[in-house]
Amino acid sequence: MKEVTIQQVEEIVAVLTADEKQLLKDTINEGGWGDAETTFLDENGKDETVFMYGYCTNDAYRAGHFKGRIISTMFRSIYKKLCPAHHNQVGRYISHCNDWWGDGSGDMLFIRSGYYRAFERWAGNVVIR
């Protein structure tokens, strides 16, 4: 697979508002967690389990752009736009899980392997793994 470009990421997130894009960037920059596997949609809209990198959405507030309930409202809107399957939890490039650990400590956003580094470059995150 060819390296994904920032332009491709911009095409994926074009459906988001400017504030939603900023919140997604804040999540990527502040919430980096680690890799695992989760469900995404394949090119035919079917479920597939693939590697991903996860970001804790609870940490997005640390960037200082948004506070309180507006964050959860904006995430709901992001998920409606980018995670069309399984009650807005699974998408082609981004999926998410409320309460990943089952203890209320972490709502997680996942970016498909092969794409997450481009999303990090788009967000201004220069972490090299």
Task: Judge whether 129 lies within some domain.
Answer: no
Categorise residue 86: left if φ over 0, alpha if ψ from -120 to 50, beta otherwise.
left
Task: Judge whether 49 lies within some domain.
Answer: yes
Residue 91, pLDDT score: 97
Structural tokens at position 14: 């074009």
Residue 128, pLDDT score: 45
Give the mean model confidence (pLDDT) for residues 84-93: 96
C-beta of residue 107 within 8 angstroms of C-beta of residue 99: yes
Task: Judge whether 81 lies within some domain.
Answer: yes
Q: What DSSP state is assigned to residue 85?
A: B
Three-state secondary-structure class, residue 61: helix
Task: Judge whether 54 lies within some domain.
Answer: yes
Domain span at 15:
6-123
Distance between CA 108 and CA 126 in Å, rounded? 21
pTM, two decimals, is 0.92
Task: Judge whether 80 lies within some domain.
Answer: yes
Task: Judge whether 102 lies within some domain.
Answer: yes
Number of domains composing the chain: 1
Task: Judge whether 66 lies within some domain.
Answer: yes
Task: Judge whether 1 lies within some domain.
Answer: no
Alpha helices in 6-125 (DSSP H): 6-12, 18-30, 69-82, 116-123
pLDDT tens for 29-74 read 999 999 999 999 999 999 999 999 999 999 999 999 999 899 999 9
